[in-house]
Amino acid sequence: MKAIVRPTAALQGEINALSSKNYTTRYMLVGALADGTSTIRFPAHSEDSDAMRRCIRDLGADLIEEGDTMTIRGFGRHPKPVRELNVGNAGAVLRFLMSVAAFCPEVTFVNAYPDSLGKRPHDDLIAALGQMNVSIDHNNGKLPITIRGGHPKGGRIQVSGNVSSQFLSSLLFMTPLLDEDSEIEVLHDLKSKVVVGQTLEVIRQAGIRLESSDDLMHYRIPGRQRYEAKEYVVQGDYPGSAAILAAAAVTRSDVRVLRLEEASKQGERAVIDVLRAMNVPLTHENGIVHVRGDGKLKAVEFDGDHFTDAVLAMVAAAVFAEGTSRFYNVENLRYKECDRITDYLNELRKAGADVEERQSEIIVHGKPEGVEGGVEIDAHFDHRVIMALTVVGLRSKRGLTIRDAHHVAKSYPQYFDHLRSIGAQVELADQ
């Protein structure tokens, strides 16, 4: 599918935010790791959340969905001895389940997206599991990966955090189920630290006890614990909504996005502060973000690691700001669905934006007069590139055509419908 994005001056209306991807994957996982039946209200529906549904079913969980409610009867620490799992293109699902797979005799994670997830590194988690009596075959740290487990052991575990927080999250989910107590030490830096807060929140909601240091670099996890079956409610998703808010920010708009909790632990909640710093007129009350954009934006400087999945949308807004914006500490964007620095900036340049990259920075020389557009954009298998480039297309002079736009369904299948419902001129066509 390709998306033909036409210049759109004004947006108006109300959108119910999609359900959070990160909470949906986490609640499904702790539901599967529990022995009884858990309930999840408003789980997300997307390729990534479907990957988690599929894999925990394959591992022996019973899932029933009726309307907006999912019930899961978990397998506890005894997953079915499945031989093969397909996580699609979902990084978090792969990394979380690599540790769960250590309870099985032999599981192979197949390489379904050689040009996207197939290029992402998992060495740090492979090394950590290697310290736990788990033997792993892999392709230079990449998929396909075969986990030979059966009897994983706790104890002292070291894991590097400077590529992805998902490796640490993965170990935090699994170690409470081990016979031994564990101590986890995070080596180097911990990227996307805020997301680990979501992991700890969910694990604790599921009745697990563990101690974490204030800097989130050290953990003590008693073994022999059991996840409790609980009821969970999934909140609205900030990373996906960030693109809608960016679209409202770069146009004349009167747009309300519902279900965005002010007190959320999602790091991407910071987009409210970023947009405010850009001088975007907005309010945030009772879970509703209300943007009344006038299209005038001011350049900003931010540490992007606090809102990793919304950096691309904020960069798209900065393309139209007065002055030069800088998003720093974002090197790990290079290890996501594509290289979200080099690949994304190449597409932005095609659209007419003036952008520069450093190893861990994105610099944007804003063009309040708009960009030329009139070109075809490559999606690089990346939903966030697609969403962000759509924002740029709306304020371009000649529009943009985004090839392979169906990959938006990785996290936000209804993105274009939502945008069109508030007046965006977007046509979807076969390629």
Ligand X SMILES: O=C(O)C1=C[C@@H](OP(=O)(O)O)[C@@H](O)[C@H](O)C1
Ligand Y SMILES: C=C(OP(=O)(O)O)C(=O)O
Site residues (vs ligand Y, CB under 6 A):
90-92, 309, 336-337, 384, 411
For residue 191 the two structure tokens come to 């990227």
Please check if 164 is assigned to a binding site. Answer: yes
Instruction: Find the part of the chain contacting ligand X (CB under 6 A) among 158-166, 288-296, 351-359, 395-403.
Output: 158-166
Nearest to ligand X of 89, 108 (CB atom): 89
**By C-alpha distance, which of 425, 428, 394 is closest to 409?**
428
Binding-site member from 116, 165, 241, 325 for ligand X (CB under 6 A): 165
Instruction: State which residue, 52 or 355, has the beta carbon closest to ligand Y.
Output: 52
| 149 in a known ligand binding site | no
For the CB of residue 431, give the shortest distance to ligand X in the complex, in Å.
26
Active-site residue, selected from the candidate residues 124, 237, 309, 343 = 309
Distance CA 390, CA 379 (A): 11
Q: Which of 8, 19, 22, 325 binds ligand X (CB under 6 A)?
A: 22
> Does 226 show up as a binding residue in the annotation?
no
Per-residue x/- track, 385-414, ligand X (CB under 6 A): ------------------------------
Amino acid, res. 148:
R
* Structure tokens belonging to residue 225: 């614990």
Q: How far apart are CA 25 and CA 152, in angstroms?
A: 23
Should residue 309 be labelled a site residue for ligand X when binding is judged by CB under 6 A?
A: yes
309 is catalytic: yes
Query: How many CA atoms lie less than 13 Å away from 182 in the CB half-sphere?
Result: 32
Q: Binding string to ligand X for residues 24 to 43, with x set by CB under 6 A, is what?
A: -x------------------
Touching ligand X, residues 75-94 (CB under 6 A): 92
Within 174-213, which residues bind ligand X (CB under 6 A)? 191-192, 195
Instruction: Find, among 130, 133, 206, 137, the residue nearest to 172 by Cα.
Output: 206
Look at residues 55, 5, 329 and name the one whose alpha carbon lies nearest to residue 193.
329
Closer to ligand X by Cβ: residue 11 or 385: 385
Give 92 or 134: the residue with its C-beta nearer to ligand X: 92
Three-state secondary structure of 378-394: ECCCCHHHHHHHHHHHH
- Measured between alpha carbons, how far is 101 from 87 in angstroms, rounded to an integer? 13
384 binds, among ligand X, ligand Y, none (CB under 5 to 8 A by kind): ligand Y
Residue nearest to ligand Y (CB): 91
336 known member of a binding site: yes
Assigned token pair, 335: 């290890």
- Binding segment for ligand X (CB under 6 A), chosen from 108-116, 165-173, 339-347, 398-406, is 165-173
79 prior amide bond cis, ω within 30: no
| C-beta of 8 vs 192, nearer to ligand X | 192
* Separation in Å, CA 369 to CA 101, 176, 308: 53, 55, 28
Per CB under 6 A, 332 contacts ligand X: yes
Give the residue from 50, 32, 169 showing the smallest Cα distance to 98: 169
Q: Which is nearer to ligand X, 197 or 222 (CB)?
A: 197
Is 166 annotated to bind a ligand? Reply is: yes
Residues 89 and 381: beta-carbon distance below 8 Å: yes
**Which two three-digit tokens encode residue 230?**
């609980």
Check whether 296 is labelled as a binding-site residue.
Answer: no
Residues 6+ away with beta carbon under 8 Å from 353: 319, 364, 367, 371, 392
Closest distance of CB 177 from ligand X, Å = 19
Distances (CA, A) of 272 to 124, 304, 331, 392: 33, 13, 22, 19
Two tokens at 74?
């978990």
Q: State how far the Cα of 169 lies from the Cα of 417, in Å rounded to an integer.
A: 33
Q: Name which of 24 and 411 has its Cβ closer to ligand Y.
A: 411
165 binds, among ligand X, ligand Y, none (CB under 5 to 8 A by kind): ligand X
Helices and strands in the chain, H and E counts? 12, 26
Q: Look at residue 257 and give the partner it binds from ligand Y, ligand X, none, a contact being a CB closer than 5 to 8 Å depending on partner kind.
A: none
Answer with the entry of ligand Y, ligand X, none that 169 interacts with (C-beta below 5 to 8 A by kind).
Answer: ligand X
Instruction: List the binding residues for 3-phosphoshikimate.
Output: 21, 26, 164-166, 192, 309, 332, 336
Active site residues: 309
Instruction: List the binding residues for phosphoenolpyruvate.
Output: 21, 91, 120, 166, 340, 384, 410
Name the site residues for ligand X (rule: CB under 6 A): 22, 25, 92, 164-166, 169, 191-192, 195, 308-309, 332
